[in-house]
Amino acid sequence: MRKFTLLTIVLVVLALTLVACGGSDSDDTAVAGGDAAAGDALYHQTVIGPASAPGCVTCHSLEPDTVIVGPSHAGVATRAETYVAGMSAEEYLRESIMTPDAHIVEGFTPGVMYQNYATDLTPQEIDNLVAYLLTLK
């Protein structure tokens, strides 16, 4: 009887979790808690965070095929869907901000991107940046 009770609890928790996730009708560009407009504003600042780290626009262009230091972000949301098998665009973009050397785009050098955004930016700021980057299709 105890196994049945534990199994029932696990199934109920799993069902509630799936309902909370919103099912399969979710918007691919939405980031839970992320504000794309706030991310746009943060992206375009030349310095961000308490350590005055370089802002995204300092090193990344929004023009196709225009390289400043890092790869262009024109169409980055579309490309991010295909960079790592099994990884969503949101996951890829978040990891690229928080762990810059996890995946290096071909033709670019590891260690060039500022390495401390994960600690310098708040979780909300990271959510906002990811939400904005997901609009760049």
106-135 pLDDT, tens digit per residue, is: 999 999 999 999 999 999 999 999 999 999
Distance CA 80, CA 51 (A): 28
- The pLDDT tens digits for 44-90 are 999 999 999 999 999 999 999 999 999 999 999 999 999 999 999 99
Element (H, E) at 132: helix 123-133
Sign of the CA dihedral with 60 first, then 124, 96, and 115 last: positive
In the chain, domain spans: 34-133
Nearest one of 60, 22, 72, 56 to 126, comparing CA atoms: 56
Residues linked to residue 130 through DSSP beta bridges, in sequence order: none
pTM of the model: 0.77
Q: Are 105 and 126 in contact (CB under 8 A)?
A: no
Q: What is the CATH number of domain 34-133?
A: 1.10.760.10
Residue type, 111: G
